[in-house]
């Protein structure tokens, strides 16, 4: 495991401010499983947003399920509110090719017709393969195509029940 000079907690503080700016009346947070769902849960608490955040999985609409397999993560979609007419703010930890975002937008539209869909991410690592851009990213980092950047959540270490975030970088 490589320890990165990328302070996930500091970036999270920037994400809080970015999401605060993007939130509009009748907006709802939906976290992309799994890293984005951790972030959305914490944002919902920290921004004192009434109600529950949503969680969305890309599994049923991925274009690479032939290689990744259609695993049980399909069960992770939980939208505990009617998305029709809502302004949906998608939250993710890392944005790379944009293929996961495309898949979760398809999943979202299986549930209804939101008024708008916006994306905020902790880290944008570039390398887009689709015309998808975040409205907010706390950082843009150059990561080699052979590397993978992952958000790690450690429960209950020094930050009460909310857990602390860090990044792990693997590969050459
Ligand atoms: O823009 P892309 O190239 O699609 O990559 C970005 C996605 O990859 C990771 O998710 P992953 O599906 O690996 O699941 P995880 O969040 O559980 O790690 C990450 O959390 C993003 O959702
Ligand atoms: O580096 C990457 C690429 C895709 N998804 C991630 O979470 N990290």
Which atom of ligand 2 is nearest to 93's Cα? 7
Mean pLDDT, range 153-165, rounded to an integer = 68
**Does 133 reside within a domain?**
yes
| Cα-to-centroid distance, 94 and ligand 1 (Å) | 6
Q: Is the CB of 95 under 6 A from ligand 1?
A: yes
Q: Give me the domain span that covers residue 31.
A: 8-64+73-170
**Does 81 reside within a domain?**
yes
**Does 153 reside within a domain?**
yes
Check pLDDT > 70 for residue 16. yes
| Cα-to-centroid distance, 85 and ligand 2 (Å) | 31
Integer CA distances (angstroms), 19 to 30, 61, 73, 80, in order: 12, 26, 26, 20
Q: What is the ipTM of this complex?
A: 0.96
> Nearest residue CA, atom 17 of ligand 1?
34
**Does 2 reside within a domain?**
no
Q: Kindly indicate the confidence band of residue 158, based on its pLDDT and cuts at 50, 70 and 90.
A: low
- The whole-angstrom separation of Cα 147 and Cα 157 is 27
**How many Cβ atoms sit within 10 Å of the Cβ of residue 4?**
14
Number of domains comprising the chain? 1
| Cα-to-centroid distance, 28 and ligand 1 (Å) | 21
Q: Under DSSP, is residue 75 helix (H, G, I), strand (E, B) or coil?
A: helix
**Does 108 reside within a domain?**
yes
- Stated pTM of the model: 0.93
**Does 1 reside within a domain?**
no
On the 0-12 / 13-18 / 19+ scale of CB atoms within 10 A, 145 is exposed
Considering the chain, what percentage of its residues have pLDDT values greater than 90? 81
Q: Under DSSP, is residue 124 helix (H, G, I), strand (E, B) or coil?
A: strand
CATH label of the domain that carries residue 29: 3.40.50.2020
Instruction: Compute the 3-state secondary structure of the chain and give helix, strand, coil in percent, each to the nearest 5.
Output: 30, 30, 40
Q: Is the CB of 125 under 6 A from ligand 2?
A: yes
The residues that bridge with 149 in the sheet, in sequence order, are 169
Q: Is the CB of 35 under 6 A from ligand 1?
A: yes
**Does 12 reside within a domain?**
yes
> Nearest residue CA, atom 8 of ligand 2?
149
Average pLDDT taken over every residue of the chain: 91
């Amino acid at each position: 495991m490589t320890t990165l000079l990328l302070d996930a907690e500091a970036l999270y503080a920037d994400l809080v401010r970015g999401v605060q700016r993007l939130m509009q009346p009748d907006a709802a947070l939906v976290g992309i499983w799994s890293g984005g769902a951790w972030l959305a849960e914490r944002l919902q608490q920290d921004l004192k947003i009434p109600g529950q955040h949503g969680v969305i999985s890309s599994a049923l609409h991925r274009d690479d399920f032939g290689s990744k397999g259609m695993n049980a993560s399909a069960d992770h979609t939980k939208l505990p509110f009617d998305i029709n007419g809502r302004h949906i703010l998608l939250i993710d930890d890392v944005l790379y090719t944009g293929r996961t975002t495309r898949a979760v937008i398809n999943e979202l539209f299986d549930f209804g017709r939101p008024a708008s869909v916006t994306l905020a991410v902790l880290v944008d690592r570039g390398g887009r393969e689709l015309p998808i851009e975040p409205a907010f990213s706390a950082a843009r980092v150059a990561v080699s195509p052979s590397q993978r950047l992952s958000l790690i959540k450690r429960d209950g270490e020094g930050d009460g029940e909310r857990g602390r975030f860090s990044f792990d970088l693997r590969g050459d």
